[in-house]
Amino acid sequence: MRIILLGAPGAGKGTIAKMLVEKYGIVQISTGDILRQAVKEGTETGKKASEYMNAGKLVPDEIIMGIIEERIEKPDCAKGFIFDGFPRTIPQAEALEKLLAAKDMTIDAIVNLEVPEDVVLKRLTSRRTCSNPDCQAIYNIYTMPPEKEGICDKCGSKLVQRDDETEEAIKVRLATYYEKTQPLIDYYKSNKTYFAVSSLIAQETFDEIVKRLGK
């Protein structure tokens, strides 16, 4: 099973991807998580990406395509994967098509998570993420709080706010989404695997996607 999750920053891509991973036993490929890890490790990619990310801008397409090409080659992708936060521009979508065709791979579903902008803004300022790179569980101080404040229920690590969660960076991320990523909806609309779901209550969103996938 191979899935693309589309949606604005804070639409719930990471949250829903983690639920689908458990259900289908496939892997989540979050370009955001991969980049944040590269920044933390101080790799060449991380050094190039951090300035863009902290400002809320998109990392150049060539860097992203290099990451994707390398990632889908890994053995854990054999059963399938979920792209969370990729593709994010029309050139990335075009490059992905070529890459998949060369590997004889197809996408089973392209899912757009729909959320009103005011909800997204509130979610981004109230999200907390597990600081453990192997866990990265996502919480929300209002809608999905951890049992113990500031501590991850799953692994006991500290919960943190991301570096791009400043009000200024959030504004730029949303503007970048409308300019560069939202046009992907029109790009994919005619694809027979495309569908949109409301992403207001995580369990309902997940149930709807599973129903639509029919598997």
CB of 156 to ligand AP5, least distance (A): 19
Q: Please compute, for residue 68, the number of CA atoms within 13 A of its CA located in the half-sphere on the CB side.
A: 27
Which residue in 2, 88, 123, 128 is the catalytic one?
A: 88
CB of 48 to ligand AP5, least distance (A): 11
What does the binding site for ligand AP5 look like in residue numbers (CB under 6 A)? 7, 9-15, 30-32, 35, 52-53, 56-59, 64, 85-86, 88, 92, 123, 127, 138-140, 143-144, 164, 173, 199-202, 205
User: Long-range contact list for 53-58, CB < 8 A, 24+ apart?
Assistant: 53/163, 53/164, 54/163, 54/164, 54/169, 55/169, 55/172, 56/164, 56/168, 56/169, 56/170, 56/171, 56/172, 56/173, 56/175, 56/176, 57/172, 57/176, 58/88, 58/89, 58/176, 58/180
Which residue in 71, 122, 162, 180 is the catalytic one?
A: 162
Which residue in 2, 36, 127, 128 is the catalytic one?
A: 127
**173 among known catalytic residues:** yes
**123 among known catalytic residues:** no
CB of 141 to ligand AP5, least distance (A): 8
In eight-state DSSP terms, residue 157 is: P
**127 among known catalytic residues:** yes
Catalytic residues: 13, 88, 127, 162, 173
